[in-house]
Chains A and B, each alone.
Chain A
Amino acid sequence: GESVGLHLPTLSVQEGDNSIINCAYSNSASDYFIWYKQESGKGPQFIIDIRSNMDKRQGQRVTVLLNKTVKHLSLQIAATQPGDSAVYFCAENKSGGATNKLIFGTGTLLAVQP
């Protein structure tokens, strides 16, 4: 049968502005969270991660915030550039077992306008 793709939420920003991409996760037992960037036709690219014992983690131009109370994760990109245009996925992970599967969110399309 015909499959219907998900309608991706889209965030459109001007070059140089800050971007905030949000994600709600499902499993309160998840203790490790990762943001991935996926450009068209490519695999997910690791951006930044955070463990549940932290509320905030900063990288180069990116910051991840974790609110465990409401199971919410956000990715902030400072001074957004055209090269940041991509789909951004959050992924959650429950560690402690022999391995860890990632549960991906729906994704947000970030469109940077020059």
Chain B
Amino acid sequence: EPEVTQTPSHQVTQMGQEVILRCVPISNHLYFYWYRQILGQKVEFLVSFYNNEISEKSEIFDDQFSVERPDGSNFTLKIRSTKLEDSAMYFCASSYVTDTQYFGPGTRLTVL
């Protein structure tokens, strides 16, 4: 069964450093998403991406964040200068059309 994959599973970084979180969505999906979940809290929408551009973004997704689909398979989330409060689980999701979103296993980002 096809699934969304994410790497790395755990990323530790120093405050102010750049991180890139990687995702491989399900191969025939057209819509891509990033969500985050701070420990013990609910899952929050960050950004959606379709047709090689951002469709929608939340207030959390400020200028420090960017997304890219550099090739036909990868979808990345970059945080330019990490802050302590960026520590969270980051989930990638994809959907074929604008309905059921399938989530990856997540990347745990720890900012020290």
| Contact A34 B100, beta carbon cutoff 8 Å | yes
Q: Which of B11-19, B48-56, B64-72, B74-82 contacts A (4 or more CB under 8 A)?
A: B48-56
Interface size on B, residues (CB 8 A): 30
- Which segment, of A9-17, A43-51, A61-69, faces chain B? A43-51
Q: Which residue of B lies closest to A1 (CB)?
A: B85
CA distance A42 to B102 in the complex (A): 12
On chain A, which size bracket covers the interface?
Answer: 20 to 34
The answer to whether B41 touches A46, judged by C-beta atoms less than 8 angstroms apart, is: no
Please measure, in the bound complex, the distance between the C-alpha atom of A8 and the C-alpha atom of B37, giving whole angstroms.
Answer: 14
- A104 at the A/B interface (Cβ < 8 Å)? yes
* Residues of chain B contacted by A36 (CB below 8 angstroms): 103
**Pairs A–B under 8 Å by Cβ, sample size 17:** A3-B39, A3-B41, A5-B41, A6-B42, A8-B40, A34-B101, A43-B91, A43-B106, A45-B103, A49-B99, A89-B42, A97-B98, A99-B55, A100-B95, A102-B45, A103-B45, A105-B42
